[in-house]
Chain A
């Protein structure tokens, strides 16, 4: 009862602005017209799945998340491992890696543009090396540019999470391993990575949330209709909104939520299993 008093403000707003809208969205996705349409079953979904621009957007989103999240985790973990060794100026270096996180995308996008433009600096370098120029933002490379921007921004956040995880591993585990003659690699795999697993689950969640936020980078770099390769689900949903195709939009949203819920449930189950095994 008491708990309810503390929860009430959050719960009311959360229901009004998130849960009820979402339930309305699910309902809309099964009707043929916004507000008071009749029930049409899975028709909107069929139409959605048949739409080539939806399929393109879904594939791009999946590709981006599938590519950038593992890359980010590998890069930030390596960085954390290096920063955890004896080092001069550790705090200064750490600050430098986190700083991109707090820099707003909109204020940095001009530099990226000048760098990756058809006439830009990257192509200038290619030219110097005697290579043909590449249209980085208007070709399949555009996804690569986005991945780099995502890594640049998010590496610091994951790095400090991993650093905390590393520092929570007792040093005597490594000592025992060394006495028993385990090499560096064995220690990394059997001690470091095992004890980092709980951190890893959290890092994966945060990285996925942040991977959905590259919409901002894409929007600022390329507007409502960017090159095909970086046309994401968020663009699709935004454009469906502006063209008032509400049924497709809500169906796409419901589908996306379904996938996220399935994935997170799987992740949490894996985490629980891992914790049970450790105990």
Chain B
């Protein structure tokens, strides 16, 4: 296969991958009326025998319009509040988990202590468990701590999630011992080594972790449907699930705005992200 043919072939595949994302953005520029006309049949049971009534995904709007954006940003403040709810959950989780995990990962990767590998295995196993596995006891713990129906019920377990520890320890294990040994000879203590040597070198790992946590928690469904019964506190992910059915006319713009921070963050940190993910996957 020549270089050109392969490029074209992969280009077509890449384009197909991007279709859902591109369609969300183009459809967000339609007027609500046009969305209604186009997609009204979705979710309705029509008689197959009646024949050919279908909904076609429309690529380009008939009229470019910012009506949907106007609606959700200006006329219906609910969207902005839920956007804020999402951010208020996600930002503390990312900041907290990154900090807590960096400390623990340093201990796992560079210090020696009794039972280290067994403990790390415990973290690894926990990381694999779906949220529902500890649903009941978690509910009891959250209830006991008096956190029910507050953001803390989601933020605190999020901060102590095992994924960050795992990812950063994988990454830090690649930092050569020569660096830390040299610092030790110069009389640096563990804290100095951690703060001055390990952390700066772990930047790609931290960037990758930030993106992955952002993706995961910006997306969360499992925790808020249990811990946040109060609709005014729910994050945007749940609001969109509702919008899909009740107010499709503004759904595309809401979706587009919802994914924009993620996409921008990823494009900004892409090279770090890829390096971080790749090093975490190679045995250190």
Contacts and interface: CB of A to CB of B under 8 A. Distances in A.
Interface of A: 2-4, 6-7, 9-11, 13-14, 16-25, 28, 34-35, 79, 82-83, 85-89, 92-115, 117-121, 123-124, 127, 132-133, 152, 155, 157, 160-161, 163-165, 168, 198-199, 202-203, 205-206, 208-209, 212-213, 215-216, 219-220, 233-234, 237-238, 241, 246, 249-250, 253, 256-257, 260-261, 264, 268
Nearest to B237: A106
Contacts of A199: 281-282
A104 B259 CA distance: 6
Nearest to A6: B107
Contact of B244 (A18, A23, A87, A109): A109
Contacts of A133: 48
B104 A113 contact: no
A198 B282 contact: yes
Chain B interface secondary structure, helix, strand, loop or mixed? helix
21 contacts: A10-B104, A14-B126, A17-B160, A18-B160, A23-B137, A24-B140, A88-B4, A88-B7, A99-B18, A100-B20, A100-B21, A107-B24, A108-B255, A124-B55, A127-B54, A132-B48, A220-B221, A233-B130, A233-B132, A237-B135, A256-B129
Contacts of A202: 281, 283
A157 B281 CA distance: 11
Contact of B43 (A10, A89, A117, A124): A117
Interface in B105-124: 106-108, 111-113, 116, 121-124
A123 B121 CA distance: 47
Nearest to B38: A114
Interface of B: 1, 3-4, 6-7, 9-11, 13-15, 17-18, 20-21, 23-24, 27, 39, 41-46, 48, 52-57, 100-101, 103-104, 106-108, 111-113, 116, 121-141, 156-157, 159-160, 162, 165, 190, 194, 211, 215, 218-219, 221-222, 225-226, 236-238, 240-241, 244, 248, 251-252, 254-256, 258-259, 262-263, 265-267, 270, 274, 277-279, 281-283
Given A99-B266, A253-B135, A10 B21 contact: no
A208 B3 CA distance: 34
Contact of A107 (B54, B160, B255): B255
A165 B281 contact: yes
B159 A13 contact: yes
